[in-house]
Amino acid sequence: MKPTKTVTCDVLVVGSGAGGFATALTARLYGLDVIITEKEPVFGGTTARSGGWMWIPCNPLAKREGFKDSREAARTYLQHEAGNHFDAARVDAFLDNGPKMVDFFQEKTEMDFTLGPAFSDYHPDAPGGMPGGRSVVATPYDGRKLGKEIARLRPPLKEITFLGMMIGSGKELLHFFNVTRSVKSAAYVGVLLAKYGRDLVSHGRAMRLTNGNALIGRLAKSALDQNIPIWTSSPVKDLIVEDGAVKGAFVQTEDGITEVRTRRGVVLAAGGFPQDMLRRKELFPHAPTGAEHWSPAPPGNTGDGIRLGERVGGKAIEGLPNAAAWVPVSLVPRRDGTSGPFPHFIDRGKPGVIAVTKNGKRFTNEANSYHDFVQAMVNACGDNPEKAAWLIVDHPTIRRYGLGFVKPFPVPLTPALQNGYLVKGRTLRELAEKLGIDAAAFEQTIETYNRDARQGEDPQFKRGSTAYNRYLGDPDHKPNPCVGPIENGPFYAVKVVPGDLGTFAGLRTDADARVIDESGNAIPGLYAAGNDMASIMGGNYPGGGITLGPAMTFGFIAGRHLAGAGANAVSNASRPAA
């Protein structure tokens, strides 16, 4: 490539999600000269669209709250989850450095973490599993602190906002569910809406950042405070390799090709391959052409980082039972004729919600994790080329909890019925006929389910049997927060199809986040973080935040290693600069 100019730095970070920012900030705070380069006109990647949860066992917040967790228990849990893909060296690095990462960012940057005390592991009854305390989330942030840079922050996923407003997880979401039932909740929501209205008038967007937007808002503010340049609309096109070592990269900028020479290394943090049709086709069994899959990840995550790594001898991990973190999505029609994927995280756990496939039958405990739900759905569809299911509810349930993109009372159902997102039947048979599913089997399914659901039981799939199920349920619904009958028509359905939150099958790395070649040797000058790095979860999804927790932690590890501080000890020579 013929560059129009050359710049030199210690570290070039490719991508501005959690993996990229965590690496860049750590390296900078250890005194290195860092540039972040981002392909898209906005920074933040999938991270900015995410829930912002980070799974960090034995995190300092849980310790302060007195949670009885241990490194051994977490290691046992990960060993159980990852099975044959358990990578002891990287898991140990993660467990040792996760809590240190939280302290480091909390002390030295704008980052602030909030504990999810009741956010259960997704398999809490497995060996080493915990019913809460391992997930932390970025505390909401005032977007005004970013000044004019707020314009470059990727907005949240439109489909999961309420009229463009971000709703925080946990207590905040509960207030929204209870808005017509509690004066306190109504007042809480009223204040948030008033503030949002004010922000819209003065800034044209929500300035109260929550979840992934808060995470990126906080990281970006910290990076800007440290004078880390964030080049947007600047994709990396190729790596520079000399004498077997990565020495920089060619970046497409508005001035042409810029040659970035690096003294320490290049970090691939380009967010995996959720939008790479070819690799989807190769690695997602339910998507034979790549198109039978709908990802809420941004369009720029086309697997560039993994390809760049492979071109210089890196290798993407193979044979994982799942190449990505699955989530069921429904497709919300937009005014321009396109549709946006709505990820179904919590509605499946509410009482009175079940899922059936085309044969009219249930196929799983719907309150299990989104990753487990999609696997069960794809299996249940067998040879049917369409891998899909329908979430089914009755009238009281949809008005109480909403369903997918459809909000609870008092938000009207009509727009969703008119655009076809929500399907309604006065009777179960009418609903089945409209959906094109086996009506007789469907009626039988509901009858069987209701017989036990009236007593709060689900002998077939045991909804409500785990702490995670109950976390998603309605604590006020007795006797089982996840089970209620479906009996008061009209009845409603929303169709769900396979989607992902991010990919698992990234580049193989060592415990210092260095990309390794086929023989297991580190490629000098090349690191990976976030989803460009092969997940340490072995294709499973153990708990809330298992992509962002490792992304932040291995970013922290990579930044320190680049600075010569090693993964596990801060050397005196490289004390943080701030």
Q: Quick one: 324 or 482, whose CB is closer to ligand FAD?
A: 324
Decide: is 178 part of the binding site for ligand FAD (CB under 6 A).
no
Residue 538 beta carbon to ligand FAD: minimum distance, rounded to whole angstroms: 16
The 16-55 contact track toward ligand FAD, x by CB under 6 A, reads xxxxx----------------xxxx----xxx-xxxxx--
- DSSP, residue by residue, 535-574: PTTTT---STTTTHHHHHHHHHHHHHHHTT-TTT---GGG
Decide: is 528 part of the binding site for ligand FAD (CB under 6 A).
no
Decide: is 472 part of the binding site for ligand FAD (CB under 6 A).
no
Residue 153 carries which DSSP code? B
Q: Say if CB 138 and CB 491 are below 8 A apart.
A: no
Residue 284 beta carbon to ligand FAD: minimum distance, rounded to whole angstroms: 16
Q: Quick one: 132 or 343, whose CB is closer to ligand FAD?
A: 343
CA–CA dist 69, 152 (Å, integer): 39
CA–CA dist 379, 199 (Å, integer): 46
Decide: is 269 part of the binding site for ligand FAD (CB under 6 A).
yes
Sign of CA dihedral 96, 101, 102, 103: positive
Decide: is 15 part of the binding site for ligand FAD (CB under 6 A).
yes
Decide: is 270 part of the binding site for ligand FAD (CB under 6 A).
yes
Helix runs in 382-528, H state only? 395-401, 414-418, 428-435, 439-453, 467-472
Nearest Cα to 564, choosing from 575, 578, 554? 575
Q: Kindly give, in sequence order, each residue whose CB lies less than 8 Å from that of residue 514, ignoring residues fewer than 6 positions away.
A: 522, 523, 526, 527, 558, 561
Q: Find the binder of ligand FAD among 10, 276, 304, 366 (CB under 6 A).
A: 304
Q: Quick one: 37 or 375, whose CB is closer to ligand FAD?
A: 37
Residue 412 beta carbon to ligand FAD: minimum distance, rounded to whole angstroms: 25
Q: Find the binder of ligand FAD among 248, 300, 498, 538 (CB under 6 A).
A: 300
Sign of CA dihedral 104, 105, 106, 108: positive
Which range binds ligand FAD by CB under 6 A, 276-284, 391-399, 477-485, 539-547?
539-547
CA–CA dist 187, 153 (Å, integer): 30
Residue 339 β-bridge partners:
333
Residue 547 beta carbon to ligand FAD: minimum distance, rounded to whole angstroms: 3
Q: Find the binder of ligand FAD among 343, 456, 485, 538 (CB under 6 A).
A: 343
Q: Find the binder of ligand FAD among 34, 240, 306, 548 (CB under 6 A).
A: 548
Decide: is 236 part of the binding site for ligand FAD (CB under 6 A).
yes
Decide: is 531 part of the binding site for ligand FAD (CB under 6 A).
yes
Output the CA–CA distances (angstroms, integers) from residue 551 to 115, 269, 321, 325, 557, in the order listed.
18, 9, 21, 14, 10
Nearest-CB residue to ligand FAD?
Answer: 17
3-class secondary structure, 533? strand
Residue 24 beta carbon to ligand FAD: minimum distance, rounded to whole angstroms: 11
Number of other residues whose CB lies within 10 A of the CB of residue 333: 16
Decide: is 265 part of the binding site for ligand FAD (CB under 6 A).
no
Decide: is 271 part of the binding site for ligand FAD (CB under 6 A).
yes
User: What is the contact surface with ligand FAD in residues (CB under 6 A)?
Assistant: 14-20, 37-40, 45-47, 49-53, 157, 235-236, 269-272, 296-298, 300-301, 304, 343, 501-502, 530-531, 545-548, 551
